[in-house]
């Protein structure tokens, strides 16, 4: 790659929890405008990888660079500031809070001398930003729990992009969704390429990942056992490696 925009490079990353080697010698590169699929069984190290990239954990060894600059995130906030945002499957939004408060969670727009939340702006922006993702909500004051599962995932994605995410990690975005809801979310994820986002997608669903992704990384027991470009592989080939 000539340009280094929104590029993540991991070199020889190790992470241990006690005597368990959660990640062993992981080296990989992800770039903007591409969808990178992280495949693997439970316990393969996918979550640990995501948590290291998003600043929840720190690697024990190895080098982590964003746009050719070495980084050491102490917490998710620092990763967010570097443009790295994660959408977790269950933690994307808070159902009991309303939609616009969820959209601006942790980034509340304030105005006036008393630093109060600018509700009109927050509601207007939420409705506008969701519309870009084909979601029309009439009432942004509704509890976010009243949105469908797919809409919640898209809300979290729209929110991440609005707040400047350039590198977006999606953790099993469709695993809890029905077929039709999944299709809608997949359609929106595919469009993230055009926004030049570096997408890292963690998935169980090989068919879906294959139809959506550009690059595939297969994890087993904390190791990166295979790395493929879409042109040089097939869903069946990926499955055979995973199930070997």
Partner 1 sequence: MISLRGMFSRPETGALLGLVFVWGFFAIFAHNGFLSLQGTKSYLQVSSEIGILAIGVTLLMISGEFDLSIGSLIGFSSMSVALLTMEANLSMPVASFLTLIMVMFIGYCNGITVVKSGLPSFIITLGSLFMVRGITIAISKLVTGRTQLGGLADSKGYNIMSSIFGNSLTISGTDFPISIFWWILFGVLGYLILRHTQIGNWIFATGASKESASLMGIPVKNVKVSLFMLTAFCAWFIAITQVTTFGGADVLRGEQKEFIAIIAAVIGGTLLTGGYGSIIGTMIGALIFGIVKQGIIFAGVDADWFQVFMGVMLISAVLVNGIFRKKYADS
**The binder of partner 1 chosen from 13, 22, 66, 93 (CB under 8 A):** 93
Closest by Cα among 156, 160, 120, 159 to 140: 120
Binding segment for partner 1 (CB under 8 A), chosen from 3-11, 143-151, 191-199, 224-232, is 143-151
Q: How far lies 71's CA from each of 82, 131, 222, in Å?
A: 9, 35, 22
Min CB(69)–partner 1 separation in Å: 21
Site for partner 1 contains 151 (CB under 8 A): no
Site for partner 1 contains 176 (CB under 8 A): no
Closest by Cα among 65, 56, 67, 69 to 15: 56
Closest by Cα among 185, 181, 174 to 148: 181
**The binder of partner 1 chosen from 57, 64, 104, 219 (CB under 8 A):** 104
Binding segment for partner 1 (CB under 8 A), chosen from 21-29, 65-73, 89-97, 199-207, is 89-97
Binding segment for partner 1 (CB under 8 A), chosen from 1-9, 26-34, 142-150, 190-198, is 142-150
Secondary-structure percent of the chain, ordered helix, strand, coil, rounded to 5: 35, 30, 35
CA–CA separation, 142 and 95 (whole Å): 10
Closest CB to partner 1 among 151 and 233?
151
Min CB(92)–partner 1 separation in Å: 8
CA–CA separation, 208 and 189 (whole Å): 11
Q: How far lies 46's CA from each of 56, 115, 117, 172, 191, in Å?
A: 13, 41, 37, 11, 24
Backbone angles phi, psi at 174, to 5 degrees: -120, 5
- Binding positions for partner 1, 108-137, rule CB under 8 A: 108, 110, 114-117, 119
Q: How far lies 52's CA from each of 57, 198, 220, in Å?
A: 5, 16, 17
Binding residues with partner 1: total (CB under 8 A): 28
**The binder of partner 1 chosen from 88, 121, 133, 162 (CB under 8 A):** 88
Closest CB to partner 1 among 85 and 174?
85
Strand partners, 86: 169
Site for partner 1 contains 152 (CB under 8 A): no
Site for partner 1 contains 86 (CB under 8 A): yes
Site for partner 1 contains 34 (CB under 8 A): no
Both tokens assigned to 206 = 């090989």
Binding segment for partner 1 (CB under 8 A), chosen from 19-27, 90-98, 199-207, 219-227, is 90-98
Min CB(150)–partner 1 separation in Å: 18
CA–CA separation, 205 and 239 (whole Å): 10
Both tokens assigned to 27 = 């080296």
Per CB under 8 A, residues contacting partner 1 are 56, 76-77, 80, 86, 88, 91-97, 101, 104-108, 110, 114-117, 119, 143, 145-146
């Amino acid at each position: 790659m000539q340009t280094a925009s929104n590029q993540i490079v991991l070199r020889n990353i190790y992470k241990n929890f006690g005597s368990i080697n959660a990640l062993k010698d992981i080296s990989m590169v992800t770039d903007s405008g591409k969808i990178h699929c992280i495949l693997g069984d439970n316990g393969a190290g996918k979550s640990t990888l995501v948590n290291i990239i998003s600043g929840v954990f720190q690697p024990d060894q190895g080098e982590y660079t964003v746009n050719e600059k070495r980084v050491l995130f102490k917490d998710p906030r620092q990763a967010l500031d570097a443009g790295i945002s994660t959408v977790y499957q269950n933690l994307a939004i808070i159902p009991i809070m309303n939609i616009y408060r969820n959209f601006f969670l942790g980034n509340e727009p304030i105005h006036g001398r008393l630093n109060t939340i600018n509700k009109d702006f927050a509601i207007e922006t939420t409705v506008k930003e969701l519309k870009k993702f084909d979601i029309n909500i009439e009432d942004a004051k509704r509890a976010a729990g009243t949105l469908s599962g797919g809409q919640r995932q898209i809300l979290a994605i729209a929110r991440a992009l609005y707040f400047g995410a350039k590198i977006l990690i999606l953790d099993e975005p469709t695993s809890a969704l029905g077929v039709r809801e999944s299709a809608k979310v997949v359609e929106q994820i595919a469009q993230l390429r055009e926004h030049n986002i570096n997408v890292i997608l963690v998935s169980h669903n090989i068919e879906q990942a294959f139809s959506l992704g550009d690059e595939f990384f297969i994890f087993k027991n904390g190791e990166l056992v295979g790395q493929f470009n879409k042109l040089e592989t097939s869903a069946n080939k990926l499955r055979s490696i995973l199930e070997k």
